[in-house]
Structure 1
Amino acid sequence: MGPFPSLRGNTYILVAIDYLSKWVEANALHTNDARVVCKFLKSLFAGFGTPRAMISDRGTHFCHDQFAKVMLKYGVTHRLATAYHPQTSGQVEVSNRGLKRILERTVGENHASWSNKLDDALWDFRTTYKTPIECTPYKLVHRKACHLSIELEHKAYWALKHANYDLQTMGDHIKV
């Protein structure tokens, strides 16, 4: 996605989405050339393993020889989406729209600071319940629920309050 205005020189967002888990990886970048895209994909392959296939748009960075060599090296089948047919990569379009909406709400008035807020937007996106998978992408990828510190404080407060109530009730019964 991009180009966008930026304070830190990052004008593009490179987005990768796992179709099964709806997990989104994104990076704020200065350029969107083939070298940068290949570096991003190599880091994803190192962290998550190599996919069998990858669908991309027909951007010049995806149609470059360097990109084709990386796909061949890792044994990934590269498929190009049909031009002017966004339904081919519908999940990408939905995820991009959602990520963009979260960024717009997070950034507020200063639109140029979006690259500072990208990690927060990704956190929000990954920990939001998705109906098609009936859980959050975070839970599907990490096999555990993500508990925010405020949630833990809230649960601890109510557990303690309930325990104190039980002790008080028990004390009343013993006195009788």
Structure 2
Amino acid sequence: METDQVIRRCVPDWEQENVLIHCHNLACGGHFGPKRTARKVLDSGFYWPSLHKDAYEFCQSCKRCQLTGGISSRDAMPQVPIIVCEIFDVWGMDFMGPFPSSYGNTYILMVVDYVSKWIEAKATSSCESKEVAKFLKDNIFSRYGVP
């Protein structure tokens, strides 16, 4: 376990090269440098004591990386971080009303997921937190699970 409190699988010697190949060369890789390759290994849930040294040696022995060479600051473009949002990461909830009573309901609870543009509305009798909890339990958690 490292300082970030994440439990990782310790990879045996015979499997370490395959993990490095996947994190450096294949679809999840991209022929990044040794620090990024080691970070990808850690993010994948693996670890071994000589990971950073092995990633450095692996990147030094990669023929494609050696042919490409490094990007100079003259060639580099300004980098802007890309924020990756999943469904249910950005929500909005609000009550609308009061409206004239209809079947005992005077408010509308609106729920919006801003990533998928999913909208759901429910007529409620009051604008209290118990209505929100009931809505989440009955409509969201029962269908999609707890995000």
Q: Please classify the TM superposition score into its range, dividing by the shorter chain length.
A: 0.3 to 0.5
| Length-normalised TM-score, structure 2 | 0.32
Which structure has the highest strand share of the two?
2
Which structure has the highest helix share of the two?
1
Larger radius of gyration: 2
| Length-normalised TM-score, structure 1 | 0.27
Higher relative contact order (CA 8 A, sep 6+): 1
